[in-house]
């Protein structure tokens, strides 16, 4: 049995260089995550809930961060961290993933640019500097969050949205006057029509089967006059048979029923005269 | 075109992105009006059944407000991304959706806002509850209220409450809607006054 980790990344805004942003977000999320504590004794495994024991962090050996370089004019010009427009017109892209110990984790080159060795060495030196800065930023942010959680301050995404920018609007939680709410509600109820009475008399067919309500009349098309008469006749006939052998009939949802609601209602299928009752659990339900 | 995230007390935030009216796929286009599609992405995991049902509720609310007949055979897509959830998520989505529609400049017949009410075991009404208040409440009701006559566009209930209590919550929500619409006004004024 092993733990399975799932990392969901949501791209909120694309202004170029998703690779770098996603790598930073991913590694920070993994460092920030806490998993439930587990103790293993022989074959027994106990997983503790967050309330029983504090969740423990994952064991992260190192933090690889991607840095992207865009090349233009066959390698003459080099841009670090290209924006969206620069990405669109670049000739080639070089992505280097490095950790703060200056170990290269990934190198990926794409596009129509052929790179020379010292260009790549230069890029890796730039990447080392950038990665060192970014790793420091990450450490500081994680520490701040840790402190805020310990001291009970506010944390999370909502707090990170800057308050002072022109494009953000924040309103303090406002009190709403709910003094006369009950009166107002009472008025509304008094004026409203009472809800139509719904008779819920379950119709008991046999022990174990019941039907609430009757089916609505088929509104797809008008039955021809003759058909209606026929149906009425057949119903009349089988109703007689039904009263005679009331207990040995299976019911079917019928289209037209004008029976009173207080009597035990017997719905008859106008096509069948003789039916057999099976065990209540196996009662077949046939609907037209 | 994306609106800035919409926050509500308790730090629930939802990001709304609205695209359209754009060309619709033949299978989805409607001959006389715009086809509105809502996608709700949760913070963790893939969208599931709960998200689908929320999407339908949001879609029906938006369709009641958007003047789709002005843009026949087009598709309007509204994508909502949940950034953090600390209670009152559906009303936050409603507010974000309305701001998104406003921001994109779609023709609307009225605005709408979402308000959540939680009914405590003793009958006390809490507006815009936090996640904890929602859990402890006997019933949680969410209303979408329109701006022209404070009528109800959509209502959802979880839990059980009496008819009187529901009417009380609705009246409280209509009061709260006033505050929210005032906020819409202020923020739009500020945004377009530069």
- Residue in B closest to A154 by C-alpha: B11
- pLDDT reported for residue B166: 87
pLDDT band at A274 (very low <50, low <70, confident <90, very high): low
Provide the b/e sequence for B140-172 (b: ≥16 CB within 10 Å).
bbbbbbbbeebeebbebeeeebeeebbbbbbbb
Separation of alpha carbons A219 and A234, rounded Å: 21
The CATH architecture to which B9-193 belongs is: 2-Layer Sandwich (3.30)
Torsion of CA A177, A180, A181, A183, to 10 degrees: 180
Residue B172 Cα, gap to closest chain A Cα (Å): 6
Average pLDDT over residues A171-187: 53
pLDDT band at A182 (very low <50, low <70, confident <90, very high): low
Bridge partners of residue B13, in order along the sequence = B7, B84
pLDDT band at A247 (very low <50, low <70, confident <90, very high): very low
Residue ranges and CATH numbers for the domains of chain A are: 18-156 (3.30.230.70)
Q: Is B25 helix (H, G, I), strand (E, B) or coil?
A: coil
The sign of the CA dihedral A179, A183, A188, A193 is positive
Retrieve residue B178's tokens. 């006033």
**B-chain residues near A154 (CB < 8 A):** 11
**A-chain residues near B170 (CB < 8 A):** 185
Hey, are the CB atoms on A182 and B168 less than 8 Å from each other?
yes
State the ipTM, two decimals: 0.71
Phi, psi of A128 (to 5 degrees): -60, -45
pLDDT band at A158 (very low <50, low <70, confident <90, very high): low
Between chain A and chain B, the number of residue pairs with CB atoms below 8 A apart is: 78
The sign of the CA dihedral B182, B188, B193, B194 is positive
Hey, are the CB atoms on B163 and A189 less than 8 Å from each other?
yes
Listed range (A187-196, B33-42, B91-100) with the worst mean pLDDT = A187-196
- How buried is residue B77: exposed, middle or buried, by Cβ count under 10 Å (0-12/13-18/19+)? middle
pLDDT in tens, B8-61: 555 788 888 888 888 999 998 899 999 999 999 998 888 899 999 999 999 999
Phi, psi of B186 (to 5 degrees): -60, -45
- pLDDT reported for residue A184: 58
> Beta strand B6-8 with A203-206: parallel, antiparallel or unpaired?
unpaired
**What string of DSSP letters covers A239-280?**
HHHHHHTTTS------S-----SSSPP----TT-S------G
- pLDDT reported for residue B86: 83
**B-chain residues near A185 (CB < 8 A):** 164, 167-168, 170-171
Long-range contacts, stretch A255-258, CB < 8 angstroms, 24+ apart:
A255/A215, A255/A217, A255/A218, A255/A288, A256/A217, A256/A231, A257/A214
- pLDDT reported for residue A175: 52
User: A151 versus A171: which is more confidently predicted?
Assistant: A151
> Beta strand B74-84 with B35-41: parallel, antiparallel or unpaired?
parallel
> Beta strand A38-41 with A44-47: parallel, antiparallel or unpaired?
antiparallel
Listed range (A126-135, A241-250, B15-24) with the worst mean pLDDT = A241-250
Q: Which residues make Cβ contacts (< 8 Å) with residue B6, sequence separation at least 6?
A: B13, B14, B15, B16, B92, B95, B96, B99
Residues of chain A above pLDDT 90, percent = 30
Matching residue, tokens 């004024």: B189
The sign of the CA dihedral B123, B126, B127, B132 is negative
What region does A208 belong to: left with phi over 0, alpha with psi -120 to 50, or beta? left
Q: Give me the residue spans of the domains in chain B.
A: 9-193
Phi, psi of A86 (to 5 degrees): -65, -35
Q: Could you count the other beta carbons within 10 Å of the beta carbon of residue B187?
A: 18
Q: Which residues make Cβ contacts (< 8 Å) with residue A43, sequence separation at least 6?
A: none
- pLDDT reported for residue A76: 87
Q: State chain B's maximal CA–CA distance in angstroms.
A: 53
pLDDT in tens, A68-88: 999 998 888 899 999 999 999
B7 part of contact set with chain A, CB < 8 Å: yes
pLDDT in tens, A41-59: 888 888 888 888 888 999 9
Q: Which residues make Cβ contacts (< 8 Å) with residue A28, sequence separation at least 6?
A: A138, A141, A142
User: A236 versus B125: which is more confidently predicted?
Assistant: B125
User: B158 versus A271: which is more confidently predicted?
Assistant: B158
Alpha helices in chain A (DSSP H): 18-32, 84-89, 117-151, 157-160, 181-191, 225-244
Hey, are the CB atoms on B167 and A12 less than 8 Å from each other?
no
């Amino acid at each position: 049995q092993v733990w399975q980790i799932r990392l969901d990344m949501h791209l909120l805004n694309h202004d170029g260089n998703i690779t770098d942003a996603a790598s930073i977000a991913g590694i920070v999320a993994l460092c920030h995550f806490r998993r439930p504590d587990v103790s293993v004794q022989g074959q027994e495994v106990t997983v503790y809930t967050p309330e029983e024991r504090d969740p423990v962090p994952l064991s992260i050996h190192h933090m690889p961060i991607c840095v992207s370089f865009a090349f233009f004019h066959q390698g003459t010009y080099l841009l670090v961290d290209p924006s969206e427009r620069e990405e669109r017109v670049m000739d080639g892209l070089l992505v280097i993933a490095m950790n703060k110990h200056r170990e290269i984790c990934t190198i990926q080159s794409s596009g129509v640019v052929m790179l020379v060795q010292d260009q790549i060495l230069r890029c890796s030196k730039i990447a080392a500097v950038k990665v060192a800065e970014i790793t420091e930023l990450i450490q500081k942010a994680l520490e701040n969050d840790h402190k805020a959680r310990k001291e009970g301050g506010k944390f999370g995404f909502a707090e990170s949205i800057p308050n002072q920018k022109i494009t953000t609007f924040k309103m303090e939680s406002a009190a709403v006057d709910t003094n006369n709410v009950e009166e107002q509600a009472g008025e509304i109820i008094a004026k409203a029509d009472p809800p139509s009475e719904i008779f819920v008399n379950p119709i008991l067919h046999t022990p174990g089967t019941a039907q609430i309500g009757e089916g609505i009349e088929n509104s797809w098309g008008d039955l021809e006059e003759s058909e209606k008469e026929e149906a009425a006749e057949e119903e009349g006939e089988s109703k007689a048979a039904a009263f005679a052998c009331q207990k040995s009939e299976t019911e079917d949802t019928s289209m037209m029923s004008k029976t009173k609601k207080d009597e035990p209602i017997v719905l008859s299928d106008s096509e069948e005269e003789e039916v057999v009752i099976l065990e209540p659990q196996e009662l077949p339900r046939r609907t037209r | 075109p994306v609106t800035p995230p919409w926050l509500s007390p308790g730090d629930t935030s939802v990001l709304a992105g609205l695209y359209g009216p754009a060309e619709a796929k033949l299978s989805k286009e409607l001959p006389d009006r715009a086809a509105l599609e809502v996608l709700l992405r949760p913070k963790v995991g893939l969208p599931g059944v709960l998200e689908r049902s929320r999407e339908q509720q949001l879609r029906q609310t938006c369709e009641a407000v958007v003047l789709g007949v002005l843009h026949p055979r087009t598709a309007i897509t509204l994508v909502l991304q949940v950034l953090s959830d600390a209670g009152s998520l559906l009303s936050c989505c409603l507010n974000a959706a309305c701001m998104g529609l406003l921001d994109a400049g779609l023709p609307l017949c009225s605005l709408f806002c979402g308000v959540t009410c939680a009914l405590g075991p003793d009958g006390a009404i809490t507006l815009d509850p936090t996640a904890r208040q929602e859990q402890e409440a006997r019933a949680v009701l969410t209303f979408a209220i329109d701006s022209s006559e404070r009528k109800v566009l959509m209502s959802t209930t979880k839990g059980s409450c009496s008819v009187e209590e529901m009417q009380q919550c609705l009246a409280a929500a209509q009061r709260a809607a006033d505050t929210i619409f005032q906020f819409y006004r202020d923020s739009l004024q500020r945004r377009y006054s530069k």
